Amino acid sequence: MLPAAEAPHGVEDTHDGAIAGGSGYPLPMPELPEVEVTRLRIEPALVGRRIRRVVTTPDSYFFLTRPARLKRSLAGRRVESLDRHGKYLVANLDGGSRLVVHLGMTGQLFSSGATSVRLLSATARAALAPEEQGRFVPDAHTHLRLCFASGPEVYLRDVRKFGKVLLLGPGETSPRLGRLGVDALGATGEQLFRATRGRRVAIKSLLLDQSILAGVGNIYADEALFHAGVRPRRAASRLTQRECAALAQAIRAVLERSIETGGSSIRDYVAPDGSDGAYQDERFVYARAGESCLRCGEKVRRVVVAQRGTHYCPGCQK
DNA sequence: ATCGTTGCCTGAGGGC
DNA sequence: TGCCCTCAGGCAACGA
């Protein structure tokens, strides 16, 4: 795939299917695979480049660092590297400061050099002048816009503003990052077994706890529990060592597989270059309530656990 | 310490 | 057609 930064900064390249709506499935959120895919795709447009100017929307709770300080501190900084911790993206800047981004539920990080951009709300369509058909124009949801001396700009767009952006000074730490548990890609059965001891909450709730495993969200929690054969409402403390091993293995497998296929994109997730992830086609339970289990044929059920839609197969999961 | 609840936000979709 | 209502949910803060 062509790195986003190599695509010409022009209308033509953003033309094809640039603006599109959703497909009608329930809202997923960017989880570890989507954030990792975003990281990989936005990296070429960010790393090695020096920020010249920063444009933001008005101050709001989206900004854990006030816009005025963001603009002041980011201007002139060069992006040295881009890391991911769980669902957080961390841009390391020269001088030692770090720009931290969380995509929340509807966050989109992409560059104007992307080959196409699938925007989340239809209102953005109205922002497109006819002569700029297909080319992204920063709108009211575009909370952060990074301009460089030349070449593509980088946008952080978030319709619902559940995402967050903050700037850490040299050596400064963040409770948000500090609280994160082990990255879910490296989850082991032993870690999971230890973390579940003495915990009476549903195993699904525990999987969503970012201080234990960082990166698992609603979709992959449901999918991993399916593959491990564990019902989401089981008390965490009741899982056996063997089940924890199976669950850790399932978590790693679904996350890795999703990264391979470009991340889920049922509706809200949008790759910076607009390409769609295909993992949605490999879902066994998520958003399949009432449909037949692909493995045993029983009807997939939907319940609410930890205030979140939760899907499982009563035939396959015990 | 752990657990459950609340609020932040806005678009989509259903019902009438 | 269009309005009103509900739902979706990551995360931190809060109260029990």
* CATH classification at residue A229: 1.10.8.50
Does the C-beta of A150 come within 7 A of strand B?
Answer: no
Counting the structural domains of chain A, the total is 2
Q: What pLDDT is recorded for position A92?
A: 98
Q: Residue A291 CA to nucleotide C13 C1', Å?
A: 38
Task: Give mean pLDDT, residues A68-72.
Answer: 97
User: Does residue A300 surpass a pLDDT of 80?
Assistant: yes
Does residue A54 form part of some domain? yes
User: Does residue A256 surpass a pLDDT of 90?
Assistant: yes
Q: Are residues A174 and A186 in the same domain?
A: no
Q: Are residues A216 and A95 in the same domain?
A: no
Does the C-beta of A161 come within 7 A of strand C?
Answer: no
Q: What pLDDT is recorded for position A139?
A: 87
Residue-range definition of the domain harbouring residue A38 = 32-178
Does residue A19 form part of some domain? no
Q: What pLDDT is recorded for position A7?
A: 31
**Distance between CA atoms of A5 and A274, rounded to whole angstroms?**
13
Task: Give mean pLDDT, residues A117-127.
Answer: 55
Q: Which residues of A are catalytic?
A: 30-31, 87, 308
Task: Give mean pLDDT, residues A79-88.
Answer: 97
Q: What percent of chain A has pLDDT over 70?
A: 79
Q: Which nucleotides of B are covered by protein (CB under 7 A)?
A: 2-13
Task: Give mean pLDDT, residues A265-289.
Answer: 65
Q: What pLDDT is recorded for position A262?
A: 77
Q: What pLDDT is recorded for position A56?
A: 96
**Statement: the pTM of the whole predicted model exceeds 0.75:** yes
Q: Residue A220 CA to nucleotide C9 C1', Å?
A: 14
User: Does residue A280 surpass a pLDDT of 70?
Assistant: no
Q: Are residues A38 and A62 in the same domain?
A: yes
User: Does residue A279 surpass a pLDDT of 60?
Assistant: yes
**Distance between CA atoms of A112 and A208, rounded to whole angstroms?**
33
Query: How open is the CA angle A207-A213-A217, to the nearest 5 degrees?
Result: 50
Comparison of pLDDT for A252 and A277, the residue scoring more = A252
Q: What pLDDT is recorded for position A138?
A: 87
Residues near A243 by beta carbon (within 8 Å), at least 6 away in sequence? A228, A229, A230
Mean pLDDT score of chain A: 84
A87 nearest nucleotide via C1' and CA: C10
Q: Which of A157, A178, A199 is the last residue of a domain?
A: A178
A307 nearest nucleotide via C1' and CA: C9
Q: At what angle do helices A218-228 and A241-260 cross, to 10 degrees?
A: 130
The H or E element spanning position A278 is none
Q: Are residues A173 and A246 in the same domain?
A: no
Task: Give mean pLDDT, residues A194-202.
Answer: 95
Within residues 39-78 of protein chain A, the ones with CB less than 7 A from nucleic strand B are 60-61
A277: confidence class by pLDDT, cuts 50, 70, 90: low
User: Does residue A316 surpass a pLDDT of 50?
Assistant: yes
Q: Residue A176 CA to nucleotide B15 C1', Å?
A: 42
Q: What pLDDT is recorded for position A5?
A: 32
